Amino acid sequence: MSTKIIISGGGTGGHIYPAVAIANALRELEPGIELLFVGAEGKMEMEKVPKAGYAIVGLPIVGIQRQWTLANLAFPYKLIKSLNKARKVIKDFRPSVAVGVGGFASGPLLLVASAMGIPTLIQEQNSYAGITNKVLSKWAKKICVAYPNMERFFPKEKILFFGNPVRSDIINIDQKREAAAQHFGLKADKQTLLIIGGSLGARSINRSLLQGLQRLADAGYQVIWQTGKDFDGQAQEALQGLKCPGIQSYPFIYEMDLAYAMANVVISRAGALSVSELCLAEKPAILVPYPFASEDHQTQNALSLVEQKAAIMVKDEQAGERLLDTAIELLHNEPLQRELSHNIRSFAQPQAAACIAKEILALVHSKKSKTES
């Protein structure tokens, strides 16, 4: 009988892609394993997870708005409905272990799983734990974290410090530059700037680049720009007027291994997943932390690299006046690119997904041993 694992959570790429990386690692360790994702209806995991090759079930769960709105009145009803659906999903699928990666859906699923006696494991990506994971930690068997000092939020005896699981295809990407150039229709020997504001885009980054497209074109640099869907129209309109084939925009980039392979310099937010990927890809980075993240943890993520001369930081409120100049200076300064690339490499944790997958399977085997005894 094959092992069955449920992985729940989502809402943003920062939750979804670690979950997919864990699933991929589980498949590598146990090829016959059965995996089911549980997400929130209408959220991006309902699209991204099937694209990664996995089945997913949606719960009607929603978050509570910090400011009072009429939508908050529906929360208790949707929570109860989600708990009932989670119970049915678990009864039908019969998993050995349930894994939560944060986000709306992981709450109801892991609460029900714990109540039904199914071992649970949590993976927390950020330096400041989310409220869902803090609540679920009371019942979790193991808590896998990416930053030190997480005993502030979780029971110390449950914590495993493995780093963030990221897609394995961004390892050794130097060999993919020619393929990347062909994929994006760019020249492999030209300096290329990659802009990724997160899966939903970043307004300050997008606006800064919009103002400076002509300067980048005049300087002869290539650009791969992930705008997010809300800014896609403005970017496309600007590029039509620019008529520069070396500067391209996309609402979302699925082939991130090729995007990283093509990049000489990356502009990015400083979310946990983005930072982990940049370390693994060994890319010179300009980080623009999202200023409204919980406890300003993106700034802390960025500073951990900046203090070791492994990245450059531009504050969000300074992006309009400083970001483009900083990017052009770094594109022009190849010795500094090499220094940043060398220093950021020491932060990489390429085995995170495999380590977490092994802990999940250890919980499976522990449960089987207790059942058999």
Binding positions for UDP-N-acetyl-alpha-D-glucosamine are 12-14, 126, 167, 199, 253, 272-277, 298
Distance CA 47, CA 154 (A): 31
**218 backbone dihedrals φ, ψ, rounded to 5°:** -65, -30
Specify whether the CB–CB gap between 129 and 153 falls below 8 A: yes
Binding region: 12-14, 126, 167, 199, 253, 272-277, 298
- For residue 17, give both structure tokens: 């892609």
Place of tokens 């150039």: 181
**140 backbone dihedrals φ, ψ, rounded to 5°:** -70, 145
Specify whether the CB–CB gap between 104 and 65 falls below 8 A: no
Helical spans, DSSP H, in 32-184: 45-51, 75-93, 106-115, 131-136, 177-184
Helix (H) / strand (E) containing 38: strand 34-40
Distance CA 214, CA 118 (A): 57
Helix (H) / strand (E) containing 71: none
CA distances 287 to 127, 206, 240, 266, 276, Å, are 16, 14, 28, 8, 12
Question: For the chain, percent helix, then strand, then coil, each to nearest 5?
Answer: 55, 15, 30
**DSSP single-letter state for residue 115:** H
Radius of gyration (Cα) for the chain, nearest Å? 21
Distance CA 129, CA 123 (A): 10
CA distances 120 to 14, 42, 97, 353, 368, Å, are 20, 25, 6, 17, 14
Amino acid sitting at position 300: Q
SS3 assignment, position 36: strand
Distance CA 41, CA 11 (A): 10
